[in-house]
Amino acid sequence: MTVEERIERVLKDAVRRTRRASAPETLSEAISYSVFPGGGRMRPRLCVAVAEACGGKEPKVCDAAAASLELLHCASLVHDDLPCFDDAAIRRGKPSVHRAFSEPIAVLTGDAMIVLAFETLCEGAAHVPARLPGLIRIVGRAVGAPAGIIAGQAWESEPTINLSAYQRAKTGALFIAAVEAGAFSANSDPESWTQVGEKLGEAYQVADDLHDAMSTGDELGKPVGQDARHRRPNAVKELGVTDCISRLKGLLGEAISAVPPCTGRAELVLMIEQETRRFIPRRLAACAA
Amino acid sequence: MTVEERIERVLKDAVRRTRRASAPETLSEAISYSVFPGGGRMRPRLCVAVAEACGGKEPKVCDAAAASLELLHCASLVHDDLPCFDDAAIRRGKPSVHRAFSEPIAVLTGDAMIVLAFETLCEGAAHVPARLPGLIRIVGRAVGAPAGIIAGQAWESEPTINLSAYQRAKTGALFIAAVEAGAFSANSDPESWTQVGEKLGEAYQVADDLHDAMSTGDELGKPVGQDARHRRPNAVKELGVTDCISRLKGLLGEAISAVPPCTGRAELVLMIEQETRRFIPRRLAACAA
């Protein structure tokens, strides 16, 4: 089974647990709609890749950690799309959850997916419970207050934004958690991986800014120009396209340099390099070669 | 330290963890605003009372479980008050979170409190990790899909409501979790307590219906007549006031009968009887004597 298949399987099992004959059907339909078909599944793939690079012998644990991060990522997308935030009509090329279902269902879908993420993590690590507190800490820190993705979104409600805390919370936190949870599930020191996650998170932020500024909506599967519309910081506006691409490549190089010694280092580096191609908008791929 | 003080202390410690110099301030203010001052803290007091009735020797574990249930309860109130649900202006005698802060902050506050609940549970049980999977299962089941409070709220979006599944999910689930988590944290069999939680949950539902139909807004600290306004089922409408009070007392009697043998049975029964007084609206207390 490929890594991608393993991730989809754990996600499917998790979503299936939300269904039952005597349960409200729309909620479980909306949860499934929010998770499938997925986007790049970058964070869970990274989590599993790091666990394997560390020689992890507990695929069940790292798959559960990976799936929990993906569920939390999907939950944040559903809530970020709500009318009181981005009011986005389209996500992953189809109507956003509040458009396809309703606003109440979108709020509840995000809520239920946060709970499901912790349940999924728990089920995957229940046979090695001593690992569970560390995993919950890594995942919780990446999502909640003071410095996870929810806090990142909350920065947009502050009169003055601390730009580095904002970007680290909104984008970096889940990448940091992906590498840390991967390492921890393989019995390796999560902190020796933090910097890899930080640099990949920053690279992704720059890539996302490039996509937002340069792609068409069809390429992206969501509305473009959202940063300008919501007056959010965007690296393209700040640096210009060429310098942005240089910065992106520089950050990916720094991420690779930060990978600590481990048994599967070469494969992991290759995977991060391949990821670069996904990061760069198609029409800019030529300039980035 | 009284049980009440223990619960407030764990909640304060949890809320404090959401603050940090480089964190978005409004979010942590809104979290604190949602938790303090509390309502009756019925669910966490019940959780601790059951743990003590079972002779529990791990107050840290049951306090954490109690606090996590209260955080999840508070999170559900913040989201239920949102404009797309009840659009409630008042909660616990002060402006609801979206009125006092903003709608984005109210969504994020509820989200962050769900995460905080699992982190709090994890911190309190990290020294006995073998207990953690069971506690997460009990708490997760009470909150998420298919049958927790979030699913309960989602029933209101269905074309046809399964009334018993709706009420069990929306109100019963957290009471069931309170007694089960209390018992489990004291090394007792949680399932021998399920029925106590079910009956207390049903009693609370009837009491809440009575309050909604009979109290004034000042007594209740939230708008009255919400069930009629939102066309939700209400036992007063169905049974009338006198039969409602009889039913409430009957359910509390059944809850007490269901309490399994345990070292502190007498004290627990006394506590449930005292709770009855809180359950019945002040102006009806005379008829209920």
Closest chain A residue by Cα to residue B76: A111
- Report CB contact under 8 Å: B107, A85: yes
Cβ atoms of A77 and A93 within 8 Å: the answer is no
- Report CB contact under 8 Å: A133, B122: yes
- Report CB contact under 8 Å: A116, B147: no
Q: Classify domain A3-265 by CATH number.
A: 1.10.600.10
Residues of A with CB below 8 A from B150's CB?
Answer: 27, 108, 111-112, 115
Which letter, b or e, does each residue of A6-17 get, where b requires 16 or more Cβ atoms within 10 Å of its Cβ? bbbebbeebbeb
From the list B110, B115, B157, which residue is nearest A24 (CB)? B157
From the list B18, B136, B162, which residue is nearest A119 (CB)? B136
For B184-240, the pLDDT digits (tens) are 999 999 999 999 999 999 999 999 888 888 777 776 778 788 888 887 878 888 888
pLDDT of amino acid A90: 96
Question: Residue B20: helix, strand or coil by DSSP?
Answer: coil
- Look at B288 and B250; give whichever has higher pLDDT: B250
From the list A105, A112, A137, which residue is nearest B122 (CB)? A137
- Report CB contact under 8 Å: A147, B20: yes
Residues of A with CB below 8 A from B20's CB?
Answer: 146-147
B-contacting residues of A 66-85, CB under 8 Å?
Answer: 75, 79, 82, 84-85
**Does residue B157 carry a pLDDT above 70?**
yes
- Report CB contact under 8 Å: A133, B156: no
Cβ atoms of B196 and B43 within 8 Å: the answer is no
Cβ atoms of A207 and A285 within 8 Å: the answer is no
**Does residue A232 carry a pLDDT above 90?**
no
Residues of A with CB below 8 A from B170's CB?
Answer: none
Nearest to A165 by CA among A177, A153, A147: A147
* Other CB atoms within 10 A of residue A80 CB: 21
Q: Does residue B103 sit at the A interface (CB-CB below 8 Å)?
A: yes
Q: Work out the average pLDDT over A28-38.
A: 98
**Does residue B89 carry a pLDDT above 80?**
yes
CATH architecture for segment(s) B3-288? Orthogonal Bundle (1.10)
In which band, very low, low, confident or very high, does the pLDDT at A116 lie, cut at 50, 70 and 90?
Answer: very high
Q: Is B41 left (phi over 0), alpha (psi -120 to 50) or beta?
A: left
User: DSSP code of B130?
Assistant: G
From the list A105, A114, A116, which residue is nearest B115 (CB)? A114
For A48-93, the pLDDT digits (tens) are 999 999 999 999 999 999 999 999 999 999 999 999 999 999 999 9
Closest chain A residue by Cα to residue B125: A133
Residues of A with CB below 8 A from B107's CB?
Answer: 79, 82, 84-85, 107
Contacts of A22 (CB under 8 A, 6+ apart): B146, B147, B162, B165
In which band, very low, low, confident or very high, does the pLDDT at B138 lie, cut at 50, 70 and 90?
Answer: very high
Q: Which token pair is A136?
A: 């919950």
- Residue % of chain B over a pLDDT of 70: 96
Question: Residue B80: helix, strand or coil by DSSP?
Answer: helix
Cβ atoms of A117 and A15 within 8 Å: the answer is no
Which residue is it, tokens 């959202």?
A226
For A145-156, the pLDDT digits (tens) are 999 999 999 999
In which band, very low, low, confident or very high, does the pLDDT at B260 lie, cut at 50, 70 and 90?
Answer: very high
Q: Which token pair is A150?
A: 């929810």
Q: Does residue A61 sit at the B interface (CB-CB below 8 Å)?
A: no
Half-sphere exposure of B248 (CA within 13 A, CB side): 31
Highest mean pLDDT among A15-19, A234-238, B163-167: A15-19
Instruction: Please state, in angstroms and rounded to a whole number, the distance separating the CA atoms of residues B150 and B113.
Output: 14
Question: Residue A88: helix, strand or coil by DSSP?
Answer: coil
**Does residue B182 carry a pLDDT above 80?**
yes
Nearest to B102 by CA among A285, A158, A32, A234: A158
Cβ atoms of B255 and B228 within 8 Å: the answer is no
Nearest to B143 by CA among B155, B151, B131, B132: B151
From the list A24, A85, A104, which residue is nearest B84 (CB)? A104
Q: Work out the average pLDDT over A237-257.
A: 90
**Does residue B272 carry a pLDDT above 70?**
yes
- Report CB contact under 8 Å: B145, A103: no
